[in-house]
C-alpha cells in the first residue's frame, strides 16, 4: 500500500480533473438525448444536427495542439477556466438557438473549443503532473496481480 500513499497529496487535483472530465464529456455525450426535441423545436434535420457534432469533433481535434501550447504559456488553471466559460457560452447559445447557424456556433464551435481546453488531453496532463512518477503507471497494480493471471 506504499504506492497509494503517494497519491494522497494529489487527491484534490485528481478529483477536480475527474469532475472536470466527467462534466465536459458527460454533457457532450448526452447531447444525443436532446436531439429529438432540439431538431423538432428548431426545425433542423437530424443530419444537420450530426453535421454540428461533426464540426464539434473537428474543432476539438484541431484546437487540442493549440490548447497544449497555451498550457505552457498560461498554465492549466487559466486554460481550464477559459474552457469552462466557453462551455457555458456554448450551452447558452445552444439553449437560445433559433436555427442551424446558432446551433452550429453553440454546439459546434464553442463547445468544440471548450472540449479542447477541458477534455481528456488536458485532464490527463493535469493528473500526470500531480502524481509522482513512481505511481503514475500500472506497474504498481500489475505487480500485485497473482502470477497465474499475469500469464494469460
DSSP string covering 13-77: HHHHHHHHHHHHHHHHHTHHHHHHHHHHHHT--HHHHHHHHHHHHHHHHHHHHHHHHHHHHH-HH
Q: How far apart are the first and last CA of the chain?
A: 25
The model's pLDDT over 17-75, given as tens digits with 9 standing for 90+, comes to 788 888 888 888 888 888 888 889 998 999 999 999 999 999 999 999 898 888 888 88
Nearest partner of 49 among 1, 118, 97, 81, judged by Cα:
97
> Does the pTM of the predicted model rise above 0.85?
no
Percent of the chain with pLDDT strictly greater than 90: 38
Delimit the domains of the chain by residue range.
33-133
Averaged pLDDT for residues 126-130: 75
Amino acid at each position: 500500500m506504499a504506492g497509494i500513499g503517494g497519491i494522497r497529496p494529489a487527491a484534490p487535483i485528481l478529483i477536480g480533473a475527474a469532475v472536470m472530465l466527467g462534466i465536459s464529456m458527460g454533457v457532450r455525450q448526452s447531447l444525443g438525448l436532446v436531439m429529438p426535441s432540439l431538431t423538432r423545436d428548431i426545425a433542423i434535420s437530424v443530419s444537420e444536427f450530426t453535421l454540428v457534432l461533426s464540426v464539434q469533433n473537428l474543432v476539438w481535434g484541431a484546437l487540442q495542439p493549440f490548447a497544449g501550447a497555451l498550457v505552457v504559456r498560461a498554465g492549466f488553471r487559466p486554460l481550464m477556466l477559459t474552457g469552462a466559460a466557453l462551455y457555458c457560452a456554448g450551452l447558452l447559445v445552444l439553449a437560445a438557438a433559433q436555427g442551424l447557424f446558432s446551433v452550429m456556433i453553440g454546439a459546434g464551435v464553442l463547445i468544440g473549443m471548450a472540449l479542447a481546453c477541458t477534455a481528456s488531453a488536458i485532464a490527463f496532463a493535469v493528473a500526470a503532473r500531480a502524481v509522482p512518477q513512481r505511481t503514475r503507471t500500472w506497474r504498481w497494480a500489475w505487480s500485485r496481480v497473482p502470477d497465474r493471471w499475469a500469464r494469460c
